[in-house]
Structure 1
Amino acid sequence: MSAPAAKTTLPRLALAGIFGGLFCGYVGLTAAIPVLPGFVRERFGATDFAVGLVVTATALTALLVRPISGHLADRHGHRRVMQLGALIVAAGGALYFLPLGLPALVLVRLLLGVGEASLFTAGAVWIVSIAPHERRGQLIGLYGVSMWGGISVGTFLGAAMLPFGYGAVWGFSVAVALAGLVLITSAPVRPRAGQPDGGQPGGERQSGGHGLLVRPALLPGTALGLAAAGYAGLAAFVVLHLQARGVDSGVVVLSGFSIVYAGTRLFIGHLPDRLGARRVAAWSGAGEAAGLLIIALAPNLPVAVLGSLVMGVGFSLLHPSLALMVMDRTDPAKQGAAIGAYTSFWDLGLTIWGPLIGVVAAGFGYPAVFVAGAACAAAAVVVALCVPRPGPQPTTAT
């Protein structure tokens, strides 16, 4: 009688450490974002290209390192790799203080991408490893809320501290990342037989492949990469799209999307667990597509906001649903590498769609950006439905 109760008990102290550590790590990572463009221009007289390179360099190493950090978390423990990520974020903040040239500053940003990938990926698999099976999707969703919350708070506080000088921002980045390290270290682990620091024993499910080619991650990752087109279009062009129609409050659409994105995961984030990851992924992709089409056709702000709300609900649940599909088809001992590969498809999608949506906007106009995003979201649904169903769950001795 006690076994079922144990399965549904949430390890609250561990979750607080993981969520809090991720939140603080992203606050430290993103506090520099709003001040870096001015810093680069002021110190180096840099071009727009150089400014963009400095700000976005982290995405390149994050894309490449996520599968590696997931593999290391599987082998050496989730907490250790997450601690390493927080340390790298703190070290990156400290390196801002040095009188670096522009190439060295780019290298610092590349290093921070390694820290971000290690922090996020190890924590994501740690969450799955300790979550009750029937609440994995919900906790994956809340983990994403912690990340986006850290990004929002970090960018706000970074901008707010700029009047006190760049050094205040750099010092804050170091301090909050170290606070994240303390929280991660405070999270207790439950070692499994033969695995250090929270690792998991092997199983009989799929694990083949390396890097982005981890087999269980390929189709769900492709669906995630396709869905990224809609988000990239919304972030880059919704303000310009509405301005072209005489609406000057396009930022409200982005705010509405962000609020609904977080609220959906907080209040109905359990749906992938309750209704099934495949079903929720299909409905979520359809919701993203519908919202994007509404935005494309919107004649005024209220209709555009409605589209952002519909898109936000769908997009919010798509990632945890697809992540569950990856986990259900992956050997437990390889889940870190699998979730790292899966998440890298998001980085890859943004890298590809960023330039392509600009080409679409230039050639066909702003509404075409959202129509193209809707087509990609529909394609994501098709890909998600092609993911083979998992085999029987392996039993785990307690």
Structure 2
Amino acid sequence: MTTKNKIASIALTPTATDKHFTRVITAIIISVFAIYLTIGMTLGVLPGFVKSDLKSGNLVVGLVIGLQSLATLLTRAYAGKITDTIGARTSTHRGISMVMLCGLLYITAAGWGGNPSLALGLLLLSRIVHGISESMAVTGTLTWGIGLLGAQKSGKVMTWNGIAMYAGIAIGAPLAIWMKNTIGITYVFAAILLLSAISWLATIRLPDLPVDAAHIRTPFYKVVGLIAGQGLGLAFSSIGFACISSFISLLFAARSWGDPSMAFITFGACYVLTRIFCSSFPDKYGGYKVALVSLTVQVAGQLLIAFSSSRIMAILGCSLTGIGFSLIFPALGVLVVKKVAPQMRGTALGAYAAFFDLSLGLAGPIAGIIAGRFNYEAVYLFGAISCLLAISVLFIYKNK
């Protein structure tokens, strides 16, 4: 056995030490956090840049922002294939390299602000590349972390990975706005290059995972069918989160409840704290049980918002939704990891995450139609019903 394979074998043993776990998870967290800081930073400054500097309308703003998510969704299968056939390290580092390319494209677009058509074209290209990079990097880091620490710690890996993702977006947006107002938007885009380098360096010393080139790959559509129960559960459960992110501000305005910032803050705080203090629950108690409890809490949160008679009730509903939504991805993800061979783990995780992407893409427009036809309270009834559908899906697919 070669030295490289010995290292991989040691890393893959289920009795990985706490020191080894800390080293691996810290590297993964730093890498993912840096990548999602770049995503959060662009979300913070691009709408204003497109609307004010490039003199474009709201439709173009929506196109520029949404194009990244669309690119991420459409390349989940490709990212999974690269991760499984070439390696998690390769997938991760290709994704990071593409983020570096994004930084250069953003900087060039800012420099051509006097030519709106050219600048907009460069932005659209950069958003596509950014979306592909997100798909590659996240699929790679998830598979890499689970492979190094063992499937029995997959829940913890997904939990901490999610904390890094949401923290990066939450911090990135206000940080970028401050940088833009202080030193200019070009420096915001230049910071993407620095963050890419940090992300690369964070994982450079992690051992690679062995790739079984002789393994006969299962077609992507069959993998989707295999994890459809968990994917649909994730999709339905994500709608409550989409309803809060899209319409809680409008609900507060319609009820004259003032600044909705506390609703977002409590949702985010409860989400992160639940992940921090309950990160071991999916591995310890099983993904199925944790998902059912989480969905029940989320239903309560959505109903509390829907029937809220005061600002405090709505904020409490957001808090419960944050608690309930927090462990859904790792809980159902644990079940996904158990259903596939290690050689197909990247493809399965890519397919699983695609359900989340698709849900967020569809939930906003559907909720908007409901709000227009009825009222903002009805949006959260929609969120509660969606969580109940997720519970039904879990019961249906329990033994499948």
Q: Scaled by the length of structure 1, what TM-score is found?
A: 0.90
Match of 2:268 in 1: 258
| Number of equivalenced pairs | 380
8 Å Cα contact 1:81-1:119 kept in structure 2? yes
What amino acid does structure 2 have at the position aligned with 1:22? V
Match of 2:301 in 1: 291
Question: Is residue 182 of structure 1 aligned with residue 198 of structure 2?
Answer: no
**Of the candidates 263, 266, 274, which is equivalent to residue 284 of structure 2?**
274
C-alpha distance in 1 between matches for 2:260 and 2:52: 30
8 Å Cα contact 1:245-1:299 kept in structure 2? no
C-alpha distance in 1 between matches for 2:289 and 2:70: 32
C-alpha distance in 2 between matches for 1:306 and 1:41: 35
What CA deviation, in whole Å up to 9, does each residue of 1:267-318 have, x standing for no partner?
A: 0121111111111111111111110000111111221122122111111011
Match of 2:162 in 1: 144
Match of 1:217 in 2: 227
C-alpha distance in 2 between matches for 1:304 and 1:212: 42
C-alpha distance in 1 between matches for 2:223 and 2:368: 28
Match of 2:332 in 1: 322
8 Å Cα contact 2:306-2:377 kept in structure 1? yes
**Of the candidates 244, 251, 261, which is equivalent to residue 241 of structure 1?**
251
C-alpha distance in 1 between matches for 2:334 and 2:358: 20
8 Å Cα contact 2:71-2:132 kept in structure 1? yes
Match of 1:32 in 2: 42
What amino acid does structure 1 have at the position aligned with 2:21? P
Q: Scaled by the length of structure 2, what TM-score is found?
A: 0.89
**Of the candidates 12, 16, 26, which is equivalent to residue 16 of structure 1?**
26
C-alpha distance in 2 between matches for 1:160 and 1:212: 46
Unaligned stretches of 5+ residues in structure 2: 1-9, 113-117
Q: Tell me, what secondary structure is at the counterpart of 1:221?
A: helix
RMSD: 2.2
What CA deviation, in whole Å up to 9, does each residue of 1:315-354 have, x standing for no partner?
A: 1011111111111111111010000010011110011111
C-alpha distance in 1 between matches for 2:46 and 2:158: 31
C-alpha distance in 2 between matches for 1:88 and 1:374: 38
Match of 2:15 in 1: 6
Match of 2:382 in 1: 372
8 Å Cα contact 1:227-1:376 kept in structure 2? yes
Question: Is residue 310 of structure 1 aligned with residue 320 of structure 2?
Answer: yes
**Of the candidates 68, 72, 75, which is equivalent to residue 65 of structure 1?**
75
Superposed displacement of residue 160, structure 1? 1.1
Unaligned stretches of 5+ residues in structure 1: 196-200, 391-398
8 Å Cα contact 1:27-1:177 kept in structure 2? no
Between the aligned residues of both structures, percent identity stands at 28
**Greater CA drift, 113-122 or 246-255:** 246-255
Q: Tell me, what secondary structure is at the counterpart of 1:34?
A: helix
Superposed displacement of residue 222, structure 1? 1.1
C-alpha distance in 2 between matches for 1:371 and 1:15: 38
What CA deviation, in whole Å up to 9, does each residue of 1:69-119 have, x standing for no partner?
A: 012111111111101111111110111122333233212111110001111
The list of structure 1 runs, each at least 4 consecutive aligned residues, that deviate by more than 4 angstroms after superposition, is 2-5
Match of 2:134 in 1: 116
C-alpha distance in 1 between matches for 2:227 and 2:29: 24
Question: Is residue 93 of structure 1 aligned with residue 103 of structure 2?
Answer: yes
Superposed displacement of residue 7, structure 1? 4.3
**Of the candidates 50, 53, 63, which is equivalent to residue 63 of structure 2?**
53
